[in-house]
Structures are given as structure tokens and as C-alpha cells.
Structure 1
Amino acid sequence: MKWPFVIRCSAYRFLSSLGWLLAIVLISVPGDAQTTDQTFRPLTQGEKLTFLLSWPGGNALGEASLDASTAGDEIHFQVRAEASLPSYALRDSFSSVANRELCSVSFHQQLREGKNVGENSIDYANLASEPKNAARSTSATKTNTGCARDPMSFLYYFRSKLAAGQAIESGFIDLNNQVAVSIRAAGNENLSYRGQQRPTQKFLVTYSSSGEDTRIEVWFSEDAERLPLRVRVPFPLAVFTAELQ
């Protein structure tokens, strides 16, 4: 009876960790707006990425999508993740708006995990968090004078800097309190993508939550678009994977 519960919890933690990477507030160093490469194609033409979420062994767990689109001087991002477990469904969505420098304007998340529903919004104009479900999160006021980036805008900022050959600094996750995040290059590998071998650069993203460290492995293609081809979250009992389709 314990194994299905453990697997369910591991799958939930996998989606949560994927959320920490893509859809929880990641704040850059205060005062560090830094110019974004305005020629980076995904920021000028938009894109839609679809990921297959897999159990250990390659069996499908669900699907996630990441959309980017432009609207005047704004860039809009949307992440949707859906996974089905025995008697338990996970459906999470995240959206954000950023300016052309990829500094966040607004952020919204909606979490549906089994029978639990949670919603949270952040308006960066006044830097105040406005949770709509007090049981899931608490109000927090942020005091950052620099360029705040939610993880979706940070992901595109990160990719644009990689494409420009510039070093990326670590930052902080801010969810009612700040959590330090370490981003470290971890070598180069070839991955199969759409039937072809693609050279990639691997990064290790590490953060600590509730006294426990979580490490996320991410592989970015080495072409001009720096696509996130694979995301892997290792746990003691299993390794869950998201692969770009």
C-alpha cells in the first residue's frame, strides 16, 4: 500500500520542482536589469514548446506546454502542466507578463491537485503578493528595487544570454521568503531530438526548500534558440523527466 502513495508523492514533487524552475518567482540580483538581446528569435516571433512528462522507465505521466507571444512592448508567457495518477489528477497553469527587458509586470498561478485548488497573483507594480487561497499561501510584500523576473521570463532571459555567449548569475526564488538558487554548468552531451542527435549544454539548478535540497538537471541545445530539450528531477526512489517534443 505504501508504494503507490510514495510514487504519487514523487510525481507531485516532480511537477512541483518543474514549477520551481518554470513558474515560481525568481528574482534577479537587485538593481540588475541587464539588457536583453532583442534579436533572440523566441522573443521577437514567439514560440510554443510541448514537453512529454515521463515516469521512470519512460512511461508517459502527462504533458506540459510553454507558450511565449508578443503584444506591443510586452511579452506574454503561459505554462500548463497536466498529469494523471491513479485517482489523482494534477493540472497546474502559470502565466506572466514581462516588458522587453524581461522584467516581470505580473504573475499568476492556478494549481489544481486532486481536490485541492490554489490561486496566487503578483502585481509587480506594487510588488505585493495577493493570494486568493489563504490555506495554500500567505500574503507577502516584496521590497526589490531591481528587475524582478518570474521563472518564465527568467528562463527566456537565461536562454537569450546563453545564445549571446554571456555568463549567467544565480539568483533568488521568492515565495513569501527568499530561497537561494545555484545554477552551474555541468558539461556537454548529445541528445536525440526529433530523430537527430543535437549537441547540448547541461546545467544543474539547485535550491533548498523546507530544509531539503532539490537538484534539477536541464539540457539546452547549443543552437541559436537554446531550446530546453530535457528537464530531469532525481529523487531517491525515482527519476522523472520532461522532454521537448
Structure 2
Amino acid sequence: MAVAKLLLLILGGVAQLYGQTPPNVRPPTEHLREQRGIERGLPFVKWCCFASGCFSRPPSSSHSRTLPHPHSLTISRTSSHLSSSPKPPRSPSLPPAFTIGILLCVFGGLIRAYCYRALGAHFTFELSIRPKQALVTHGVYGVIRHPSYTGAFGLGVGMILCVFDRRGVIMSLVASAVASGGGSDNDQAVVTATLTCVCVTLLCILYFGFTKRMNNEDAMLEKHFGEEWRAWAKRVPYWLVPGVY
């Protein structure tokens, strides 16, 4: 199972690296819209996402699960004396959150790869309009207007699920610290709730940051393409998910 998780980590890491790497060079300054907010941090996002894979290590014989509370060790020892034929330990399975996170990373990477190919030389991480640029309205762009952001959300949410996997480094360190310090179940619950708030905060940053950027992109495209863009926006009203949003 450790090998399977390691392979999935590599797959997710490749998806993150590819999905966060600009397919084209930075456009000339005269073609760029002024970079603001989240746009200034885009060059660093790729390395943060790729490095996050280090916090989702493969399970080993000694770190394959969250460390138990000290009281549970006492119960476990008592149970082992009462059991005449102890069952062999089960091999650890892949956590659902980790598996879903990797699948989201791969999905996001594939969507981004499609967008790179569809827009070709006009796909840049910086908001810009190139001379003689055409409005792409076929393929996935005929269903949703911002599929590259759908892929980016997949990469972001997938990364968060992998990093905060209960069998990963962060959650294992939390459980170990609470157990070694003689903390109670309530202490561990407080720490877990805090980490959950961190996850929710990161998701909110993703949502509001990308929403603002999509609004700016729509305004820029409408200004450049005019009626052609408005007709496309009327025909394709959804941003990220067909029929939903």
C-alpha cells in the first residue's frame, strides 16, 4: 500500500507541477493588464503546491496511522491479554481524503492541459490580450467560460485534501504532540478544529481570489471583443461547472 500511495503522490505532484507551470513566456508589458492581488503571487503558487507533496508521505510500518490517545493504549493492552487468538494486523488502506485529493489534482491537471492546447500561444498566467487574438468558443469553452479555473480549483482543493490527510505528516505530528504531552481527546479535537478552519480559509482565498480574477478577465475580453464576447457569454452563462456555476 505504501508503494501505491507513493505512486499516487508522484502522479499528483506531476499534475500540480504541470498545471501550475506557464505554457508560454510572459507577454510584453504593453499587452499586460496591471497585475494585482493574487496575480502577483502566481509565480510562487507552483512551488508551494509541488512542495506540499512532502507533507503527504506514504504510510510506513511506524507512521501508517494517526497516533492513538494514551488511554486507548491501555485498553488495547487489556484487550490483547483477553484475546486468545489475536488477529493479524490489517494492512493500511488508502485514506479516502487522500485518494479524492489526488484524483482532483489529476483532473485539474488534465483540464489545464486541455486549456493550454486550446488557447495555444495565447494562454498566459498574466491577464493579457495579444494582437490578432481570437475568442475561443469551441470544445470545453462552449460549455463553460473559464475551464482553466475549474482545473485550478481541482488542483487547489486536491492539494489541501492531501496535505491535511489524517495519515500525513501534519496530522501525525498533531496526534503525536497531543499524546506525548498527555493531552486529552478534547485537546486533539481543538487542534483538529483549528486545522479545519485553516482548510476552510484556504478554500475561501481560492474562491474569492479566482472569482475576482474571472470578473477582471471577463471585463477585459468584453472590452476587446465586444458583441462577439457578449453573444458567447449569453450562450455560455456558466463559469466553472455546467448547469451549476
Compute the TM-score of the two structures, normalised by the length of structure 1.
Answer: 0.24
Higher RCO, 1 or 2 (CA under 8 Å, sep at least 6)? 2
Whichever of the two has the greater Rg, that structure is 2
TM-score (norm 2): 0.24
